[in-house]
Structure 1
Amino acid sequence: MQGFNKYYPPDFFDNVDKHGSLNAYRGKHALGDRARKLDQGILITRFELPFNIWCGTCNNHIGMGVRYNAEKKKIGAYYSTPIFSFRCKCHLCDGWFEIQTDPKNTRYVVVSGARQKDEDWNPEENGGFAVHDTEAAAVPADPLASLEKTTDAQKGLVKAQDRLESLQEASEHYHADPFSLSSKVRKRFREEKKVEKAKKAADDRIKDRYALPESLSLIEDDDKAAEDAKAEWARGRRELELRESNKRRKLAVEITTIPTSSASRRPVTKRPAPTNPIASLRARVLENTARQSNPFGGPPKA
Protein backbone atom coordinates (compact mmCIF):
# COMPACT_ATOMS: atom_id res chain seq x y z
CA MET A 1 0.00 0.00 0.00
CA GLN A 2 1.24 3.49 -0.85
CA GLY A 3 2.06 5.78 2.05
CA PHE A 4 0.69 9.32 2.13
CA ASN A 5 0.20 12.05 4.70
CA LYS A 6 1.05 10.59 8.11
CA TYR A 7 0.13 7.01 7.29
CA TYR A 8 2.95 4.47 7.07
CA PRO A 9 2.25 1.03 5.60
CA PRO A 10 2.94 -1.96 7.85
CA ASP A 11 5.76 -3.25 5.66
CA PHE A 12 7.56 0.13 5.98
CA PHE A 13 8.75 -0.76 9.46
CA ASP A 14 10.18 -4.11 8.36
CA ASN A 15 13.34 -2.39 7.13
CA VAL A 16 13.31 1.19 8.43
CA ASP A 17 17.10 1.56 8.26
CA LYS A 18 17.05 0.78 4.57
CA HIS A 19 14.23 3.13 3.60
CA GLY A 20 14.62 6.06 5.95
CA SER A 21 11.65 7.91 4.43
CA LEU A 22 8.47 7.27 2.49
CA ASN A 23 10.01 8.72 -0.68
CA ALA A 24 12.87 6.25 -0.51
CA TYR A 25 10.42 3.49 0.34
CA ARG A 26 8.36 4.21 -2.80
CA GLY A 27 11.43 4.97 -4.91
CA LYS A 28 10.43 8.60 -5.55
CA HIS A 29 12.12 11.95 -5.09
CA ALA A 30 10.71 14.68 -2.85
CA LEU A 31 10.55 17.07 -5.83
CA GLY A 32 8.60 14.60 -7.91
CA ASP A 33 8.80 14.89 -11.69
CA ARG A 34 11.05 17.95 -11.43
CA ALA A 35 13.90 15.70 -10.36
CA ARG A 36 13.61 13.20 -13.24
CA LYS A 37 17.02 14.33 -14.61
CA LEU A 38 18.68 14.87 -11.27
CA ASP A 39 21.14 12.08 -11.97
CA GLN A 40 22.50 14.26 -14.80
CA GLY A 41 22.77 17.29 -12.53
CA ILE A 42 19.67 18.90 -14.06
CA LEU A 43 16.75 20.26 -12.04
CA ILE A 44 13.52 21.42 -13.65
CA THR A 45 12.73 24.94 -12.41
CA ARG A 46 10.39 27.75 -13.35
CA PHE A 47 12.44 30.36 -15.22
CA GLU A 48 11.25 33.84 -16.26
CA LEU A 49 12.89 35.64 -19.16
CA PRO A 50 14.82 38.67 -17.86
CA PHE A 51 14.72 40.48 -21.23
CA ASN A 52 13.20 40.38 -24.71
CA ILE A 53 14.60 37.83 -27.15
CA TRP A 54 14.05 36.48 -30.66
CA CYS A 55 13.93 32.74 -31.04
CA GLY A 56 16.72 31.46 -33.29
CA THR A 57 14.59 28.65 -34.73
CA CYS A 58 11.27 30.33 -35.59
CA ASN A 59 12.56 33.93 -35.41
CA ASN A 60 9.54 34.97 -33.31
CA HIS A 61 9.69 37.63 -30.64
CA ILE A 62 9.35 36.46 -27.03
CA GLY A 63 8.63 39.16 -24.49
CA MET A 64 10.30 39.70 -21.17
CA GLY A 65 8.53 37.94 -18.30
CA VAL A 66 7.45 34.81 -20.19
CA ARG A 67 7.98 31.75 -17.99
CA TYR A 68 9.29 28.33 -18.96
CA ASN A 69 10.01 25.02 -17.31
CA ALA A 70 13.77 25.28 -17.71
CA GLU A 71 16.50 22.73 -17.15
CA LYS A 72 18.75 24.28 -14.55
CA LYS A 73 22.33 23.06 -14.42
CA LYS A 74 25.51 24.25 -12.76
CA ILE A 75 28.24 24.69 -15.36
CA GLY A 76 30.95 26.52 -13.42
CA ALA A 77 31.75 29.12 -10.80
CA TYR A 78 33.03 32.67 -10.57
CA TYR A 79 35.14 32.60 -7.44
CA SER A 80 32.64 31.20 -4.91
CA THR A 81 29.51 32.15 -6.92
CA PRO A 82 28.11 29.31 -9.06
CA ILE A 83 27.26 29.85 -12.72
CA PHE A 84 23.94 28.30 -13.78
CA SER A 85 22.59 27.45 -17.19
CA PHE A 86 18.86 27.52 -18.03
CA ARG A 87 17.82 25.54 -21.10
CA CYS A 88 14.28 26.29 -22.28
CA LYS A 89 12.09 25.06 -25.11
CA CYS A 90 10.34 27.71 -27.20
CA HIS A 91 6.56 27.59 -26.84
CA LEU A 92 6.12 28.68 -30.47
CA CYS A 93 8.28 25.97 -32.03
CA ASP A 94 10.41 22.96 -31.13
CA GLY A 95 13.62 24.94 -30.78
CA TRP A 96 15.68 25.19 -27.63
CA PHE A 97 17.61 28.17 -26.31
CA GLU A 98 20.03 28.49 -23.43
CA ILE A 99 20.64 31.40 -21.04
CA GLN A 100 23.44 31.55 -18.50
CA THR A 101 24.15 33.71 -15.48
CA ASP A 102 27.12 36.09 -15.50
CA PRO A 103 28.10 36.83 -11.88
CA LYS A 104 31.07 38.89 -12.99
CA ASN A 105 28.84 41.50 -14.63
CA THR A 106 25.66 40.67 -12.63
CA ARG A 107 23.55 39.88 -15.66
CA TYR A 108 22.15 37.10 -17.88
CA VAL A 109 23.70 36.09 -21.21
CA VAL A 110 22.05 34.30 -24.13
CA VAL A 111 24.40 31.47 -25.09
CA SER A 112 22.61 29.72 -27.94
CA GLY A 113 19.28 29.27 -29.69
CA ALA A 114 18.10 32.89 -29.35
CA ARG A 115 19.11 36.51 -29.83
CA GLN A 116 18.80 39.12 -27.11
CA LYS A 117 17.22 42.51 -27.79
CA ASP A 118 19.84 45.11 -27.00
CA GLU A 119 18.20 47.57 -24.60
CA ASP A 120 21.11 48.22 -22.24
CA TRP A 121 22.35 51.73 -21.70
CA ASN A 122 26.12 51.91 -21.85
CA PRO A 123 27.40 54.74 -19.64
CA GLU A 124 30.80 54.75 -21.34
CA GLU A 125 29.22 55.60 -24.68
CA ASN A 126 27.35 58.52 -23.11
CA GLY A 127 30.23 60.18 -21.33
CA GLY A 128 29.96 58.25 -18.06
CA PHE A 129 31.96 55.61 -16.28
CA ALA A 130 31.69 51.86 -16.32
CA VAL A 131 29.33 50.52 -13.67
CA HIS A 132 31.08 47.17 -13.32
CA ASP A 133 34.78 47.87 -13.50
CA THR A 134 36.22 44.53 -12.45
CA GLU A 135 39.77 45.35 -13.52
CA ALA A 136 41.39 48.19 -11.62
CA ALA A 137 43.09 50.79 -13.77
CA ALA A 138 46.84 50.66 -13.66
CA VAL A 139 48.07 53.71 -11.77
CA PRO A 140 51.72 54.61 -12.28
CA ALA A 141 53.72 54.72 -9.09
CA ASP A 142 54.49 58.32 -8.13
CA PRO A 143 56.43 58.85 -4.89
CA LEU A 144 55.44 62.53 -4.65
CA ALA A 145 51.75 61.74 -5.11
CA SER A 146 51.98 59.07 -2.44
CA LEU A 147 53.67 61.55 -0.09
CA GLU A 148 51.01 64.21 -0.71
CA LYS A 149 48.30 61.66 -0.07
CA THR A 150 49.91 60.71 3.23
CA THR A 151 50.23 64.38 4.25
CA ASP A 152 46.61 65.11 3.41
CA ALA A 153 45.53 62.07 5.39
CA GLN A 154 47.48 63.28 8.42
CA LYS A 155 45.93 66.77 8.20
CA GLY A 156 42.48 65.27 7.93
CA LEU A 157 43.19 63.08 10.93
CA VAL A 158 44.20 66.11 13.02
CA LYS A 159 41.01 67.99 12.06
CA ALA A 160 38.87 64.98 12.78
CA GLN A 161 40.56 64.49 16.14
CA ASP A 162 39.87 68.11 17.17
CA ARG A 163 36.26 67.76 16.13
CA LEU A 164 35.89 64.51 18.04
CA GLU A 165 37.35 66.10 21.16
CA SER A 166 34.91 69.03 20.97
CA LEU A 167 32.01 66.63 20.53
CA GLN A 168 33.21 64.59 23.48
CA GLU A 169 33.38 67.70 25.67
CA ALA A 170 29.88 68.76 24.64
CA SER A 171 28.57 65.28 25.38
CA GLU A 172 30.17 65.25 28.81
CA HIS A 173 28.76 68.72 29.55
CA TYR A 174 25.18 67.76 28.71
CA HIS A 175 25.31 64.31 30.30
CA ALA A 176 27.24 65.16 33.45
CA ASP A 177 24.10 65.73 35.57
CA PRO A 178 21.04 64.45 33.71
CA PHE A 179 18.76 64.82 36.75
CA SER A 180 19.27 68.58 37.06
CA LEU A 181 18.86 69.08 33.32
CA SER A 182 15.67 67.06 33.33
CA SER A 183 14.37 69.05 36.31
CA LYS A 184 15.00 72.35 34.51
CA VAL A 185 13.23 71.15 31.39
CA ARG A 186 10.22 69.85 33.32
CA LYS A 187 9.98 73.05 35.38
CA ARG A 188 10.01 75.19 32.26
CA PHE A 189 7.42 72.97 30.66
CA ARG A 190 5.10 73.27 33.68
CA GLU A 191 5.38 77.07 33.64
CA GLU A 192 4.61 77.30 29.93
CA LYS A 193 1.73 74.88 30.34
CA LYS A 194 0.27 76.97 33.17
CA VAL A 195 0.43 80.14 31.06
CA GLU A 196 -1.15 78.41 28.08
CA LYS A 197 -3.93 77.01 30.26
CA ALA A 198 -4.76 80.45 31.70
CA LYS A 199 -4.76 82.01 28.23
CA LYS A 200 -7.08 79.30 26.93
CA ALA A 201 -9.48 79.84 29.84
CA ALA A 202 -9.58 83.60 29.15
CA ASP A 203 -10.22 83.00 25.45
CA ASP A 204 -13.05 80.58 26.29
CA ARG A 205 -14.70 83.18 28.52
CA ILE A 206 -14.57 85.77 25.75
CA LYS A 207 -16.00 83.30 23.23
CA ASP A 208 -18.84 82.38 25.59
CA ARG A 209 -19.62 86.04 26.29
CA TYR A 210 -19.88 87.05 22.62
CA ALA A 211 -21.10 83.68 21.25
CA LEU A 212 -18.01 83.19 19.11
CA PRO A 213 -17.28 79.85 17.43
CA GLU A 214 -14.97 77.44 19.19
CA SER A 215 -12.71 77.15 16.14
CA LEU A 216 -11.96 80.89 16.18
CA SER A 217 -8.43 81.64 17.34
CA LEU A 218 -7.96 84.88 19.25
CA ILE A 219 -4.80 86.91 18.96
CA GLU A 220 -2.64 87.64 21.96
CA ASP A 221 -3.54 90.77 23.94
CA ASP A 222 -0.29 92.70 23.83
CA ASP A 223 0.78 96.28 23.10
CA LYS A 224 1.40 95.66 19.43
CA ALA A 225 -2.02 94.07 18.93
CA ALA A 226 -3.69 97.00 20.75
CA GLU A 227 -1.87 99.54 18.57
CA ASP A 228 -2.83 97.66 15.42
CA ALA A 229 -6.47 97.52 16.53
CA LYS A 230 -6.52 101.27 17.27
CA ALA A 231 -4.98 102.07 13.90
CA GLU A 232 -7.52 99.85 12.15
CA TRP A 233 -10.40 101.49 14.05
CA ALA A 234 -9.16 104.99 13.15
CA ARG A 235 -8.83 104.02 9.49
CA GLY A 236 -12.36 102.62 9.44
CA ARG A 237 -13.67 105.76 11.16
CA ARG A 238 -12.09 108.00 8.54
CA GLU A 239 -13.50 105.93 5.71
CA LEU A 240 -17.00 106.10 7.27
CA GLU A 241 -16.83 109.88 7.66
CA LEU A 242 -15.63 110.25 4.09
CA ARG A 243 -18.52 108.15 2.78
CA GLU A 244 -21.07 110.13 4.80
CA SER A 245 -19.63 113.44 3.58
CA ASN A 246 -19.76 112.31 -0.05
CA LYS A 247 -23.33 111.13 0.41
CA ARG A 248 -24.46 114.49 1.87
CA ARG A 249 -22.68 116.41 -0.88
CA LYS A 250 -24.32 114.29 -3.58
CA LEU A 251 -27.77 114.77 -2.01
CA ALA A 252 -27.33 118.55 -1.92
CA VAL A 253 -26.36 118.61 -5.59
CA GLU A 254 -29.39 116.53 -6.57
CA ILE A 255 -31.75 118.80 -4.60
CA THR A 256 -30.49 121.97 -6.26
CA THR A 257 -30.79 120.47 -9.75
CA ILE A 258 -34.44 119.20 -9.58
CA PRO A 259 -36.26 120.48 -12.78
CA THR A 260 -39.54 122.41 -12.42
CA SER A 261 -42.71 121.49 -14.36
CA SER A 262 -43.56 123.83 -17.29
CA ALA A 263 -47.12 122.51 -17.62
CA SER A 264 -48.37 124.52 -14.68
CA ARG A 265 -50.47 127.59 -15.64
CA ARG A 266 -50.23 129.13 -12.25
CA PRO A 267 -48.03 132.14 -12.25
CA VAL A 268 -44.90 131.44 -10.34
CA THR A 269 -43.61 134.18 -8.22
CA LYS A 270 -39.90 134.42 -8.03
CA ARG A 271 -38.53 133.96 -4.61
CA PRO A 272 -35.10 134.64 -3.43
CA ALA A 273 -33.02 131.50 -3.57
CA PRO A 274 -32.38 130.29 -0.07
CA THR A 275 -28.86 129.78 0.84
CA ASN A 276 -29.63 126.73 2.95
CA PRO A 277 -30.13 123.47 0.94
CA ILE A 278 -32.65 122.22 3.51
CA ALA A 279 -34.77 125.38 3.17
CA SER A 280 -34.62 125.05 -0.62
CA LEU A 281 -35.81 121.45 -0.39
CA ARG A 282 -38.66 122.48 1.92
CA ALA A 283 -39.80 125.22 -0.44
CA ARG A 284 -39.71 122.90 -3.41
CA VAL A 285 -41.75 120.25 -1.57
CA LEU A 286 -44.41 122.81 -0.57
CA GLU A 287 -44.62 124.08 -4.13
CA ASN A 288 -45.09 120.58 -5.55
CA THR A 289 -47.76 119.82 -2.96
CA ALA A 290 -49.71 122.97 -3.86
CA ARG A 291 -49.44 122.17 -7.57
CA GLN A 292 -50.82 118.65 -7.04
CA SER A 293 -53.78 119.92 -4.98
CA ASN A 294 -54.67 122.60 -7.62
CA PRO A 295 -53.33 121.47 -11.00
CA PHE A 296 -55.22 124.18 -13.03
CA GLY A 297 -53.69 127.10 -11.22
CA GLY A 298 -56.98 128.50 -9.88
CA PRO A 299 -57.54 129.88 -6.44
CA PRO A 300 -57.54 127.23 -3.78
CA LYS A 301 -60.89 125.91 -2.67
CA ALA A 302 -62.20 126.89 0.71
Structure 2
Amino acid sequence: MQGFNKYYPPDYDPEKHSSLNAYRGKHALGDRARKIDKGILIVRFELPFNIWCGTCNNHIGMGVRYNAEKKKIGNYYSTPIYSFRCKCHLCDGWFEIETDPKNTRYVVVSGARQKDEEWDPEENGGYAVHETDPNQGPVDPLAALEKSTAAQNHMNNVQIPRIEALQNLSDHYSSDPYAHSQRLRKRFREQKKIDKAREEADEAVKRAYGLPEVLALPADDDEEIRAKAKEAWEQGRQALEERESAKRRKVGVEIGVVPRTPSSLRASGSGGKSSRNSGSSGGGDPVSALRAKILGNTARQSGSLGSLGRLKPPDTKLSRVGLVKRT
Protein backbone atom coordinates (compact mmCIF):
# COMPACT_ATOMS: atom_id res chain seq x y z
CA MET A 1 0.00 0.00 0.00
CA GLN A 2 1.37 3.39 -0.98
CA GLY A 3 1.31 6.13 1.63
CA PHE A 4 -0.72 8.75 -0.19
CA ASN A 5 -2.74 9.72 2.90
CA LYS A 6 -1.72 12.10 5.69
CA TYR A 7 -1.10 9.41 8.29
CA TYR A 8 2.48 9.25 9.53
CA PRO A 9 3.45 6.22 11.68
CA PRO A 10 5.03 6.80 15.10
CA ASP A 11 8.43 5.50 13.96
CA TYR A 12 8.52 7.78 10.89
CA ASP A 13 11.58 10.04 10.98
CA PRO A 14 11.59 12.84 8.37
CA GLU A 15 15.39 13.16 8.64
CA LYS A 16 15.89 9.47 8.03
CA HIS A 17 13.05 8.89 5.58
CA SER A 18 12.69 11.43 2.79
CA SER A 19 9.05 10.43 2.11
CA LEU A 20 6.42 7.90 3.02
CA ASN A 21 7.22 5.92 -0.13
CA ALA A 22 10.81 5.60 1.02
CA TYR A 23 9.62 4.64 4.51
CA ARG A 24 7.47 1.82 3.11
CA GLY A 25 10.02 0.82 0.45
CA LYS A 26 7.73 1.63 -2.45
CA HIS A 27 8.39 3.52 -5.67
CA ALA A 28 6.30 6.57 -6.54
CA LEU A 29 5.09 4.86 -9.76
CA GLY A 30 3.99 1.77 -7.90
CA ASP A 31 3.88 -1.56 -9.73
CA ARG A 32 4.86 0.09 -13.01
CA ALA A 33 8.39 0.48 -11.67
CA ARG A 34 8.90 -3.15 -10.58
CA LYS A 35 11.71 -3.52 -13.15
CA ILE A 36 13.13 -0.04 -12.81
CA ASP A 37 16.45 -1.48 -11.60
CA LYS A 38 16.89 -2.98 -15.10
CA GLY A 39 15.98 0.28 -16.83
CA ILE A 40 12.49 -0.98 -17.74
CA LEU A 41 9.30 0.99 -17.12
CA ILE A 42 5.82 -0.42 -17.70
CA VAL A 43 3.80 1.94 -19.90
CA ARG A 44 0.57 1.82 -21.86
CA PHE A 45 1.48 1.37 -25.55
CA GLU A 46 -0.86 1.57 -28.55
CA LEU A 47 -0.01 -0.17 -31.83
CA PRO A 48 0.75 2.44 -34.51
CA PHE A 49 -0.15 0.10 -37.43
CA ASN A 50 -1.61 -3.32 -38.23
CA ILE A 51 0.65 -6.33 -37.56
CA TRP A 52 0.64 -10.13 -37.89
CA CYS A 53 1.73 -12.00 -34.77
CA GLY A 54 4.76 -14.21 -35.46
CA THR A 55 3.74 -16.88 -32.92
CA CYS A 56 0.02 -17.45 -33.55
CA ASN A 57 -0.06 -15.77 -36.99
CA ASN A 58 -3.15 -13.79 -36.00
CA HIS A 59 -3.96 -10.29 -37.19
CA ILE A 60 -3.74 -7.51 -34.57
CA GLY A 61 -5.36 -4.25 -35.55
CA MET A 62 -3.93 -0.76 -35.23
CA GLY A 63 -4.84 0.95 -31.93
CA VAL A 64 -4.79 -2.15 -29.70
CA ARG A 65 -3.22 -1.27 -26.36
CA TYR A 66 -0.73 -3.26 -24.33
CA ASN A 67 1.18 -2.95 -21.09
CA ALA A 68 4.59 -2.70 -22.74
CA GLU A 69 8.06 -2.75 -21.24
CA LYS A 70 9.67 0.52 -22.30
CA LYS A 71 13.48 0.63 -22.38
CA LYS A 72 16.02 3.02 -23.84
CA ILE A 73 18.35 1.20 -26.22
CA GLY A 74 20.33 4.03 -27.84
CA ASN A 75 20.41 7.52 -29.33
CA TYR A 76 20.09 9.05 -32.76
CA TYR A 77 22.23 12.14 -32.22
CA SER A 78 20.47 13.68 -29.19
CA THR A 79 17.14 11.86 -29.71
CA PRO A 80 16.73 8.69 -27.62
CA ILE A 81 15.62 5.42 -29.21
CA TYR A 82 13.06 3.42 -27.20
CA SER A 83 12.04 -0.21 -27.42
CA PHE A 84 8.51 -1.47 -26.54
CA ARG A 85 8.19 -5.19 -25.71
CA CYS A 86 4.60 -6.43 -25.66
CA LYS A 87 2.94 -9.82 -25.07
CA CYS A 88 0.28 -10.93 -27.56
CA HIS A 89 -3.18 -11.14 -26.03
CA LEU A 90 -4.06 -14.13 -28.26
CA CYS A 91 -1.07 -16.29 -27.34
CA ASP A 92 2.01 -16.32 -25.13
CA GLY A 93 4.31 -14.83 -27.78
CA TRP A 94 6.21 -11.60 -27.37
CA PHE A 95 6.93 -9.00 -30.05
CA GLU A 96 9.10 -5.92 -29.96
CA ILE A 97 8.70 -2.54 -31.68
CA GLU A 98 11.31 0.24 -31.74
CA THR A 99 11.22 3.94 -32.61
CA ASP A 100 13.11 5.19 -35.67
CA PRO A 101 13.87 8.91 -35.18
CA LYS A 102 15.79 9.10 -38.44
CA ASN A 103 12.71 8.26 -40.53
CA THR A 104 10.14 9.40 -37.91
CA ARG A 105 8.37 6.05 -37.76
CA TYR A 106 8.07 2.79 -35.80
CA VAL A 107 9.82 -0.47 -36.82
CA VAL A 108 8.89 -4.04 -35.89
CA VAL A 109 12.09 -5.73 -34.65
CA SER A 110 11.00 -9.23 -33.67
CA GLY A 111 8.00 -11.44 -32.90
CA ALA A 112 5.70 -9.93 -35.59
CA ARG A 113 5.61 -8.43 -39.04
CA GLN A 114 4.02 -5.21 -40.22
CA LYS A 115 1.13 -5.34 -42.66
CA ASP A 116 2.02 -3.82 -45.99
CA GLU A 117 -0.63 -1.16 -46.71
CA GLU A 118 1.02 0.96 -49.37
CA TRP A 119 -1.62 2.05 -51.88
CA ASP A 120 -0.81 1.56 -55.55
CA PRO A 121 -3.08 3.65 -57.82
CA GLU A 122 -2.47 1.34 -60.84
CA GLU A 123 -3.69 -1.71 -58.93
CA ASN A 124 -6.85 0.18 -57.87
CA GLY A 125 -7.84 1.42 -61.32
CA GLY A 126 -6.05 4.73 -61.10
CA TYR A 127 -3.08 6.33 -62.79
CA ALA A 128 0.48 6.29 -61.64
CA VAL A 129 1.78 9.48 -60.12
CA HIS A 130 5.03 10.70 -61.66
CA GLU A 131 6.95 13.81 -60.89
CA THR A 132 7.82 14.34 -64.58
CA ASP A 133 6.28 13.27 -67.84
CA PRO A 134 8.47 10.61 -69.55
CA ASN A 135 7.35 11.86 -72.97
CA GLN A 136 8.44 15.39 -72.23
CA GLY A 137 11.32 16.73 -74.28
CA PRO A 138 14.58 18.15 -73.01
CA VAL A 139 14.43 20.99 -70.57
CA ASP A 140 14.72 24.43 -72.11
CA PRO A 141 17.74 26.17 -70.51
CA LEU A 142 16.18 29.62 -70.94
CA ALA A 143 12.99 28.43 -69.22
CA ALA A 144 15.04 26.94 -66.41
CA LEU A 145 16.96 30.22 -66.05
CA GLU A 146 13.69 32.16 -66.06
CA LYS A 147 12.32 29.90 -63.36
CA SER A 148 15.42 30.30 -61.22
CA THR A 149 15.32 34.11 -61.71
CA ALA A 150 11.66 34.22 -60.68
CA ALA A 151 12.46 32.12 -57.61
CA GLN A 152 15.35 34.45 -56.73
CA ASN A 153 13.14 37.53 -57.09
CA HIS A 154 10.45 35.93 -54.96
CA MET A 155 13.01 35.15 -52.30
CA ASN A 156 14.41 38.71 -52.31
CA ASN A 157 11.03 40.48 -52.44
CA VAL A 158 8.88 38.19 -50.27
CA GLN A 159 10.77 35.64 -48.25
CA ILE A 160 13.71 37.72 -47.01
CA PRO A 161 11.54 40.71 -45.85
CA ARG A 162 9.20 38.31 -44.13
CA ILE A 163 12.06 36.57 -42.34
CA GLU A 164 13.49 39.95 -41.30
CA ALA A 165 10.08 41.05 -39.98
CA LEU A 166 9.77 37.84 -37.99
CA GLN A 167 13.29 38.32 -36.64
CA ASN A 168 12.53 41.89 -35.59
CA LEU A 169 9.33 40.74 -33.92
CA SER A 170 11.23 38.00 -32.10
CA ASP A 171 13.87 40.52 -30.95
CA HIS A 172 11.11 42.84 -29.77
CA TYR A 173 9.45 40.18 -27.62
CA SER A 174 12.70 38.65 -26.37
CA SER A 175 14.29 41.99 -25.38
CA ASP A 176 14.39 43.34 -21.85
CA PRO A 177 10.90 44.65 -20.94
CA TYR A 178 12.29 46.71 -18.05
CA ALA A 179 14.49 48.74 -20.41
CA HIS A 180 11.50 49.42 -22.69
CA SER A 181 9.38 50.46 -19.70
CA GLN A 182 12.12 52.70 -18.34
CA ARG A 183 12.62 54.44 -21.70
CA LEU A 184 8.86 54.88 -22.12
CA ARG A 185 8.37 56.32 -18.62
CA LYS A 186 11.27 58.73 -19.19
CA ARG A 187 9.66 60.03 -22.38
CA PHE A 188 6.31 60.38 -20.58
CA ARG A 189 7.93 62.42 -17.78
CA GLU A 190 9.63 64.77 -20.25
CA GLN A 191 6.40 65.28 -22.19
CA LYS A 192 4.52 65.85 -18.92
CA LYS A 193 6.94 68.63 -17.92
CA ILE A 194 6.53 70.31 -21.33
CA ASP A 195 2.72 70.10 -21.11
CA LYS A 196 2.73 71.48 -17.56
CA ALA A 197 4.93 74.47 -18.54
CA ARG A 198 2.68 75.18 -21.52
CA GLU A 199 -0.44 75.07 -19.31
CA GLU A 200 1.13 77.49 -16.83
CA ALA A 201 2.05 79.90 -19.65
CA ASP A 202 -1.50 79.71 -21.05
CA GLU A 203 -2.99 80.39 -17.61
CA ALA A 204 -0.72 83.42 -17.19
CA VAL A 205 -1.83 84.80 -20.57
CA LYS A 206 -5.50 84.23 -19.71
CA ARG A 207 -5.14 86.01 -16.35
CA ALA A 208 -3.24 88.92 -17.89
CA TYR A 209 -5.78 89.56 -20.65
CA GLY A 210 -8.93 88.43 -18.84
CA LEU A 211 -9.62 85.53 -21.18
CA PRO A 212 -12.13 82.79 -20.27
CA GLU A 213 -10.78 79.66 -18.62
CA VAL A 214 -12.32 77.33 -21.21
CA LEU A 215 -10.54 79.08 -24.09
CA ALA A 216 -8.02 76.74 -25.76
CA LEU A 217 -4.85 78.57 -26.79
CA PRO A 218 -2.88 77.19 -29.76
CA ALA A 219 0.62 75.82 -29.37
CA ASP A 220 3.56 78.20 -29.71
CA ASP A 221 5.47 75.92 -32.07
CA ASP A 222 2.93 76.26 -34.87
CA GLU A 223 4.43 78.78 -37.31
CA GLU A 224 1.26 79.13 -39.39
CA ILE A 225 -0.92 79.97 -36.38
CA ARG A 226 1.74 82.37 -35.11
CA ALA A 227 1.84 84.21 -38.46
CA LYS A 228 -1.97 84.45 -38.56
CA ALA A 229 -2.08 85.75 -34.98
CA LYS A 230 0.56 88.40 -35.74
CA GLU A 231 -1.36 89.53 -38.82
CA ALA A 232 -4.62 89.73 -36.85
CA TRP A 233 -2.86 91.73 -34.11
CA GLU A 234 -1.50 94.24 -36.66
CA GLN A 235 -4.97 94.65 -38.18
CA GLY A 236 -6.51 95.17 -34.75
CA ARG A 237 -3.90 97.77 -33.81
CA GLN A 238 -4.50 99.72 -37.03
CA ALA A 239 -8.27 99.60 -36.48
CA LEU A 240 -7.80 100.85 -32.91
CA GLU A 241 -5.61 103.73 -34.04
CA GLU A 242 -8.18 104.70 -36.68
CA ARG A 243 -10.99 104.68 -34.10
CA GLU A 244 -8.96 106.77 -31.63
CA SER A 245 -8.04 109.34 -34.29
CA ALA A 246 -11.67 109.56 -35.43
CA LYS A 247 -12.79 110.04 -31.82
CA ARG A 248 -10.22 112.82 -31.29
CA ARG A 249 -11.37 114.60 -34.47
CA LYS A 250 -15.00 114.33 -33.36
CA VAL A 251 -14.26 115.80 -29.91
CA GLY A 252 -12.28 118.62 -31.49
CA VAL A 253 -15.16 119.52 -33.79
CA GLU A 254 -17.68 119.52 -30.91
CA ILE A 255 -15.66 121.91 -28.70
CA GLY A 256 -14.39 123.96 -31.62
CA VAL A 257 -10.72 123.11 -31.09
CA VAL A 258 -8.57 122.06 -33.96
CA PRO A 259 -5.55 120.00 -32.95
CA ARG A 260 -2.41 121.98 -33.48
CA THR A 261 0.59 120.76 -35.38
CA PRO A 262 4.15 120.97 -34.02
CA SER A 263 4.76 124.04 -36.20
CA SER A 264 1.81 125.87 -34.65
CA LEU A 265 3.05 124.85 -31.20
CA ARG A 266 6.45 126.40 -31.92
CA ALA A 267 4.78 129.55 -33.23
CA SER A 268 2.63 129.82 -30.15
CA GLY A 269 5.69 129.35 -27.97
CA SER A 270 7.49 132.23 -29.60
CA GLY A 271 4.50 134.59 -29.41
CA GLY A 272 2.43 133.18 -26.61
CA LYS A 273 1.99 136.41 -24.79
CA SER A 274 0.62 138.27 -27.76
CA SER A 275 -1.84 135.43 -28.50
CA ARG A 276 -3.09 135.38 -24.94
CA ASN A 277 -3.55 139.13 -25.02
CA SER A 278 -5.42 138.91 -28.28
CA GLY A 279 -7.62 136.16 -26.89
CA SER A 280 -8.43 138.15 -23.83
CA SER A 281 -9.33 141.07 -25.99
CA GLY A 282 -11.94 139.03 -27.80
CA GLY A 283 -9.83 137.44 -30.58
CA GLY A 284 -10.77 134.24 -32.27
CA ASP A 285 -8.31 131.92 -30.43
CA PRO A 286 -10.43 128.84 -29.43
CA VAL A 287 -7.96 127.71 -26.77
CA SER A 288 -8.26 131.00 -24.90
CA ALA A 289 -12.04 130.86 -25.15
CA LEU A 290 -12.08 127.31 -23.73
CA ARG A 291 -9.75 128.36 -20.89
CA ALA A 292 -11.99 131.30 -20.02
CA LYS A 293 -15.05 129.09 -20.04
CA ILE A 294 -13.41 126.57 -17.67
CA LEU A 295 -12.31 129.39 -15.30
CA GLY A 296 -15.85 130.80 -15.26
CA ASN A 297 -17.35 127.43 -14.36
CA THR A 298 -14.80 126.99 -11.58
CA ALA A 299 -15.61 130.44 -10.18
CA ARG A 300 -19.34 129.73 -10.14
CA GLN A 301 -18.83 126.39 -8.31
CA SER A 302 -16.59 128.04 -5.68
CA GLY A 303 -19.11 130.86 -5.25
CA SER A 304 -21.96 128.42 -4.61
CA LEU A 305 -19.89 126.60 -2.01
CA GLY A 306 -19.07 129.96 -0.26
CA SER A 307 -22.71 130.93 -0.14
CA LEU A 308 -23.55 127.68 1.59
CA GLY A 309 -20.98 128.49 4.26
CA ARG A 310 -22.52 131.92 4.88
CA LEU A 311 -26.04 130.60 5.60
CA LYS A 312 -27.69 131.31 8.99
CA PRO A 313 -27.02 128.56 11.52
CA PRO A 314 -30.01 126.52 12.66
CA ASP A 315 -31.99 127.41 15.75
CA THR A 316 -30.53 126.13 19.01
CA LYS A 317 -33.94 124.97 20.14
CA LEU A 318 -33.87 122.26 17.49
CA SER A 319 -30.93 120.64 19.26
CA ARG A 320 -33.23 119.33 21.90
CA VAL A 321 -34.86 116.94 19.53
CA GLY A 322 -31.60 115.32 18.63
CA LEU A 323 -29.97 117.75 16.20
CA VAL A 324 -26.43 118.95 16.87
CA LYS A 325 -25.73 122.69 16.75
CA ARG A 326 -23.25 123.61 14.09
CA THR A 327 -20.17 125.48 15.15
TM (normalized to structure 1)? 0.41
Of the two structures, which has the highest relative contact order with CA contacts closer than 8 Å and spacing of 6 or more?
1
TM (normalized to structure 2)? 0.38
Higher Cα Rg, which structure:
2
